[in-house]
């Protein structure tokens, strides 16, 4: 078999295997900022939420994106806003194990959402 015939399938799997994490925050009833606070106000709390990002069949059969906005609505209300907002994606041991046991046909990643929830100013 000629080497250039292998190039297309390898390139296709490489491009399909790369995915990007997509999320929207436009429906949240509070402001979200990535800037950390120098001195968080009294009553503010930090949070960490986890969701899954899954690629099916190297991404050829779709992917399951995490619902970042829904998780924040469920876990952050009531609040005046969120500061120091971060979203990161990586594989833990169980994601790695599941990915390898499925021979890579199901690629798992854990999405971690962190931030500081600001208290409401109800006086």
Residue 116 structure tokens: 């500081």
What does the pLDDT read at residue 123?
47
Report the predicted TM-score, pTM, of the whole model to 2 decimal places. 0.74
For residue 122, CA distances in Å to 11, 32, 48, 67, 102 come to 57, 19, 25, 29, 51
Percent composition of the chain: helix, strand, coil (DSSP 3-state, to 5): 30, 30, 40
Helix (H) or strand (E) holding 110: strand 106-118
pLDDT digit of tens for each residue in the chain (123 aa)? 566 666 666 555 555 555 577 788 888 899 999 988 888 888 889 999 999 998 898 777 888 888 899 999 998 888 888 999 999 999 999 999 999 999 889 999 999 999 999 988 754
């Amino acid at each position: 078999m000629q080497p250039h015939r292998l190039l297309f399938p390898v390139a296709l799997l490489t491009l399909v295997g790369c995915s990007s994490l997509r999320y929207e925050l436009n429906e949240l009833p509070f402001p979200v900022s990535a800037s950390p606070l120098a001195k968080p106000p009294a009553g503010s709390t930090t949070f960490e939420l986890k969701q899954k990002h899954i690629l099916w069949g190297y991404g050829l059969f779709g992917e399951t994106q995490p619902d970042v906005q829904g998780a924040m609505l469920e876990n952050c209300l009531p609040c005046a806003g969120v500061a120091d907002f971060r979203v990161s994606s990586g594989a833990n041991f169980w994601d790695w194990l599941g990915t390898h046991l499925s021979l890579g046909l199901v690629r798992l990643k854990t999405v971690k959402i962190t931030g500081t929830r600001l208290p409401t100013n109800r006086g």
